[in-house]
Homo-oligomer: A and B are copies of this chain.
Amino acid sequence: MLDNLDHFKCLKRGTAGAINIDPLQRGGILTPEAREAILEWADGYSVCDYCTGSLEEIQTPPIKEFVREALPQFLEVDEVRISHGAREGIFAAMHALCQGGETVIADGNAHYTTLLAAELAGLKVELVPASEGPGYRVDPGGYQEAISRARGRGERVAMAVLTYPDGNYGNLVDPKAVSEICTDAGLPLAVNGAYSVGRMPVSAKSLGADVIVGSGHKSMASSGPIGIIGATEELATRIFRRSKLVPKKELEMLGCTLRGAGILTMMASFPAVVERTRRWDEEVEKARWFAGEMERLGMDLQGDQPHGHDLMFFKSEILYEISKTAKKGRYFLYRELKKRNIFGIKPGLTRQFKLSSYQLSREELETVLSAFEEIVSNHPKA
């Protein structure tokens, strides 16, 4: 027992040199600076050499400046803390701002972790349904209806969440419109920016977000798990309140969160991340061009038209038809792409799948398009 463990030692990922089109992973690829940082700060508690009691107060390395100055400026929000990820930030906000038994409103395209966070905090969830495909749109007005429905049942509504964009279709709902409805209803709005913060320009102020969460490993070129949570001054007082039992420590984050290398990768990537958000228009243009080419091959882009994000969801009856008779069945697409050194579409999917063009060059995307073209045209069923 426990005698043959050597196979845990030198595990390789095996995707070196591949074109990765996984939306989950495109925004989390480390910059060269972050790769240096992760080795330098790899050891446990490395960031705590000069700790004075709180992660966000550490000056060597300059975590304090990063969290207290750089991130609030970047997000145009009063206060920021480092979390274990976007989901943990959403939970912290719900747990701090709502009472058990109350209701939160969320968009029908919300990430599953929004539901989990609410359930873990003892809250009910009222969803704003998305429209039928191919749009899968969430209408901001639906927030008003959802609030009315819940209140009509006598529930106390405590908070609203908007996923911006959602992680299925890359749809962007007008946050300002949602925010106005929430303000009128007296509800704080938390924006889940796991797929926007670090990819596109995001200003909590302009969005009308009272709380904003982002994901380092998803969109800020950081080694995860790591995320950020920002809040207005008023809500920050509640979310980042101090413990009564240990008054020096902030309660909701159990003192300190990112006691390791992840925060240094986020810092090391930050200059590049700021810069890339300024070139977001190019990413959107590239995504639209890519989607157009995919449609020419017979794939149907779902969600917003024109599309406003690098995350794209396609339906494809052609690939589905091929899969019915292909060797390896529904795994044929994964295998055909793998043969061409393209990764990131989940094994087994053909009829519908997600991908991302984020930070890929036109040449790399041409390679992906050629692969799809070949796969479709090589196969008798097509």
Contacts and interface: CB of A to CB of B under 8 A. Distances in A.
Contacts of A84: 84, 88, 225, 257
A46 B6 CA distance: 21
Integer count of this chain's copies in the complex: 2
A28 interface: yes
A5 B264 CA distance: 13
A112 to B, nearest CB: 5
A260 B262 contact: yes
A29 to B, nearest CB: 5
Nearest to A263: B225
A246 interface: yes
Nearest to A85: B259
Contact of A222 (B35, B40, B44): B44
Given A34-B42, A260-B223, A66 B8 contact: yes
A113 interface: yes
A277 to B, nearest CB: 10
A61 B73 CA distance: 39
A87 B43 contact: no
B25 A116 contact: no
Contacts of A293: none
A45 B25 contact: yes
A38 interface: yes
A28 B43 contact: yes
13 contacts: A8-B271, A10-B33, A10-B268, A11-B61, A11-B268, A42-B265, A44-B216, A45-B218, A84-B257, A85-B259, A112-B249, A116-B245, A116-B255
Interface of A: 1-2, 5-13, 15, 22, 24-25, 27-30, 33-46, 48-50, 61-62, 66, 70, 73-74, 84-85, 87-88, 91, 95, 100, 112-113, 115-120, 125, 215-218, 221-226, 243-246, 249, 251-252, 254-255, 257-262, 264-265, 267-268, 270-271, 274, 343, 347
Listed from nearest, the 7 A-B pairs whose CB atoms lie closest are A28-B44, A44-B217, A224-B260, A5-B271, A115-B245, A8-B267, A9-B33
